[in-house]
């Protein structure tokens, strides 16, 4: 099982990410190269990167399973001004180069939101941008994330992801990241993951799935909300999520938790704690622990 979670990328960059992942008992992880909501980025530090790689080697983390996530501010679907669109494009190119410096092979991208235009127009803007961005000799592959379909998000259905890929010149240079919360919110029951994967295979090809985001959902199938819940504590539930974890067709694909931190509002402290160590343990043991959230609070207190 290749499993990890979202981790931070602090002062010591990739080294801090690896250390955090190891503290959760993970054998992979996902990070942002800076704050996801802004464009302030520090140069990649070679020494930290080398130390991180050494630590990964010592702990059997294969860097080919490590995932970067592009910042939310990138919206390739929005071409309401050439300036905005060009900014998204150049920022994504920069992020790809940062991944290449780090030796990270995959970057997850939200395809984009069609602001004030139709989804078809949004998809065309995404395709045009990606045809400009993706180069034959890129060492880091963009993974289009399947979205919940909140607002005007493009890429919530298998058909929309397929439409984007079909428009690309370098079709072999793109992959997909499926997100269980988003799939549920987009209108596909995770209980029917087999038929989802069959349809995905027909239109896109299962070999394109390079990452799975493992999240429960606070909402029912088809609600287009995109609010993640802790593993087994949402509307999808433990069993259906475990069917994704253990699915033979997704066996070698890295699984990443993006479940919410646990709040502790005792004594007006408003603290939050990462759930990942505990969720990973629960997943590995394959048995649901209804007291998990309380145990996490007790552990970090």
* Site residues for Zn ion per CB under 5 A: 226
213 binds Fe ion (CB under 5 A): yes
Positive/negative CA dihedral, 161, 230, 23, 300:
positive
First to last CA, the chain: 30
Residues 127 to 146: which contact Fe ion by CB under 5 A? 145
Residue 210 touches which member of Zn ion, Fe ion, none, C-beta under 5-8 Å by kind = none
Residue 98 touches which member of Zn ion, Fe ion, none, C-beta under 5-8 Å by kind = none
- For the bound state, the minimum distance from the C-beta of residue 180 to Fe ion, rounded and expressed in Å, comes to 9
Nearest to 113 by CA among 143, 88, 86, 132: 88
Nearer to Fe ion, 124 or 213 (CB): 213
In angstroms, the Cα distances linking 26 to 85, 253, 254 are: 37, 14, 11
- For the bound state, the minimum distance from the C-beta of residue 6 to Fe ion, rounded and expressed in Å, comes to 9
Size of the site for Fe ion (CB under 5 A): 3
| Cα dihedral 199/204/209/210 (nearest 10) | 180
Nearest to 153 by CA among 175, 128, 185, 177: 185
- For the bound state, the minimum distance from the C-beta of residue 269 to Zn ion, rounded and expressed in Å, comes to 27
Residue 20 touches which member of Fe ion, Zn ion, none, C-beta under 5-8 Å by kind = none
Nearest to 120 by CA among 81, 166, 89: 166
Q: What is the x/- site pattern for Fe ion, positions 169-198, by CB under 5 A?
A: ----------x-------------------
CA dist 21 and 215 (Å) reads: 17
- For the bound state, the minimum distance from the C-beta of residue 225 to Zn ion, rounded and expressed in Å, comes to 9
Residue 213 touches which member of Zn ion, Fe ion, none, C-beta under 5-8 Å by kind = Fe ion
Residues that bind Fe ion (CB under 5 A): 145, 179, 213
């Amino acid at each position: 099982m290749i499993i990890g979670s979202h981790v931070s990328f602090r002062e010591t960059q990739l080294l801090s990410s690896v250390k955090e992942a190891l503290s959760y008992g993970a054998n992979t992880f996902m990070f942002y190269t800076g704050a996801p909501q802004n464009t302030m980025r520090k140069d990649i530090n070679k020494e930290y990167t080398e130390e991180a790689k050494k630590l990964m080697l010592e702990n059997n983390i294969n860097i080919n399973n490590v995932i970067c996530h592009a910042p939310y501010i990138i919206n390739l679907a929005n071409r309401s001004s050439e300036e905005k669109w060009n900014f998204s494009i150049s920022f994504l190119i920069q992020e790809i180069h940062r991944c290449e410096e780090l030796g990270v092979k995959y970057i997850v991208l939200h395809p984009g939101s069609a602001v004030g235009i139709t989804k078809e127009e949004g998809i065309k803007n995404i395709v045009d941008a990606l045809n400009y961005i993706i180069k034959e000799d890129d060492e880091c592959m963009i993974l289009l994330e399947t979205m919940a379909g909140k607002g005007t998000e493009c890429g919530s259905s298998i058909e929309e992801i397929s439409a984007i890929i079909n428009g690309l010149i370098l079709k072999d240079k793109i992959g997909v990241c499926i997100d269980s919360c988003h799939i549920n919110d987009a209108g596909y029951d995770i209980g029917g993951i087999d038929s989802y994967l069959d349809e995905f295979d027909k239109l896109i090809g299962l070999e394109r799935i390079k990452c799975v985001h493992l999240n429960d959902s606070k909402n029912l199938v088809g609600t287009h909300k995109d609010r993640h819940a802790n593993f087994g504590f949402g509307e999808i539930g433990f069993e259906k999520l475990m069917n994704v974890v253990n699915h033979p067709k997704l066996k070698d694909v890295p699984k990443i938790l993006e479940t919410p931190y646990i709040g502790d509002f005792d004594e007006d402290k408003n603290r939050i704690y990462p759930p990942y160590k505990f969720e990973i343990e629960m997943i590995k043991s394959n048995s649901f622990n209804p007291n998990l959230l309380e145990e996490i609070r007790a552990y970090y207190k």
